Amino acid sequence: ALTRCFCLELTAARGGDSITVRLWAAGMSLLSTATKVMSKFRLAVVQLQVTRVKADNLSRARRLVKEAADEGSKVVLLPECFNSPYGTSFFSTYAERIPGESTQMLSEAARESGVYLVGGSIPEEDGGKLYNSCVVFGPDGGMILKHRKIHLFDINIPGKICFQESETLSPGNSLSMFDTPYCKVGVGICYDMRFAELAQLYSRSGCQLLVYPGAFNMTTGPAHWELLQRARALDNQVFVATASPARDETASYVAWGHSTVVNPWGEVISKAGAEETIIYANIDLQHLADVRQQIPITSQRRSDLYSVASVQAGSG
């Protein structure tokens, strides 16, 4: 009898060197070998110092994406409103159609660096409406998805902060997920993170990493930023990554900063301060599998009593 054999060839680059590994396997054993090879990858979160000059923001973001890729990152995350200051008075001024100037840069940066690039968010204009939108590009520079912020940031904390995104923005109406060779990723933007149901739906749909470009402020940031990330990670036994703009004390809206990565055990494994920087995390999906085996809440859910499984059809 003949046995079908397969060869999996992987090429990795570090510095100026490239290493090619050929793995031979017979039959289905290749599948498990490939799974082990792809179970770890490096994630980079760019905490960008955003200014009022769009061209400077785009140029700096592009440079930092390249820097992250040179450090071995396979997935790179940019912050909310990475191309413009955050604020209702800025959204219409900086808004672009998609595709446009900012997404063209993201496409080129992803292709040049060979990474999956989660493009933070930008103000988007479409059909006379404005959205807070995140666009994701693959290593070939192709657009994978566009996520429009589902939950608009309308809050009023007396004596501290009042903000109404709905004064200028419209909400998105769909969940956004994409596949990579490493894991499945669910996308939210900032205030989306406060809604546990969204994270649960992503997890139930097979997402192992949730990414949230976000710009919490100096009131909600110290109170809830890390707490929410750890809660979403722990509740769903997934990795959670957030990317904030760097703090600018002179801005009309001061971002908290502290971009963070949390593992499925609820531990912070990488965290920035307030300044512009890149943080890195080695994402190990075997750790995720171990956590789910040790505390098997997925199989212990009482679906006969409750369920979070309904997604309304929508677009945009």
**Domain spans of the chain, in order of start:** 1-37, 41-300
> Is residue 236 very low, low, confident or very high in pLDDT (cuts 50, 70, 90)?
very high
Count of CB atoms situated within 10 Å of the CB of 290: 13
> Is residue 70 very low, low, confident or very high in pLDDT (cuts 50, 70, 90)?
very high
Mean pLDDT of 86-109: 97
φ and ψ at residue 289, rounded to 5 degrees: -65, -40
Q: Which neighbouring-strand residues pair with 143?
A: 137
pTM for this model (two decimals): 0.86
Instruction: Give yes or no: 149 in active site.
Output: yes
The tens digit of pLDDT for each residue in 130-187 reads 999 999 999 999 999 999 999 998 889 999 989 889 899 999 999 999 999 999 999 9
pLDDT, position 314: 56
Residue found under tokens 């212990």? 300
pLDDT, position 15: 44
Query: In angstroms, rounded to a whole number, what is the distance separating the alpha carbons of residues 243 and 258?
Result: 8
Mean pLDDT of 186-197: 97
Tokens of 171: 């909400």
pLDDT at 84 over 70: yes
**What letter represents residue 41's amino acid?**
F
Its sign, for the CA torsion 233, 202, 277, 37, is: positive
From the candidates 134, 183, 190, 207, which is the catalytic residue? 190
The tens digit of pLDDT for each residue in 201-233 reads 999 999 999 999 999 999 999 999 999 999 999
pLDDT at 96 over 70: yes
Count of CB atoms situated within 10 Å of the CB of 99: 12
Query: In angstroms, rounded to a whole number, what is the distance separating the alpha carbons of residues 112 and 109?
Result: 5
pLDDT, position 310: 64
Instruction: Give yes or no: 165 in active site.
Output: no
Q: Is the peptide bond before 85 cis (omega within 30 degrees of 0)?
A: no
H or E stretch at 93: helix 88-94
pLDDT at 3 over 50: no
pLDDT at 38 over 50: yes
From the candidates 80, 96, 124, 276, which is the catalytic residue? 80
39: DSSP letter:
T
SS3 state at 22: strand
pLDDT at 6 over 80: no
pLDDT, position 120: 98
CA-angle at 234, arms to 155 and 308, nearest 5°: 70
pLDDT, position 216: 97
Mean pLDDT of 242-271: 98
The CATH code of the domain at 41-300 is 3.60.110.10
From the candidates 149, 165, 226, 276, which is the catalytic residue? 149
pLDDT at 271 over 50: yes
Its sign, for the CA torsion 147, 88, 78, 62, is: positive
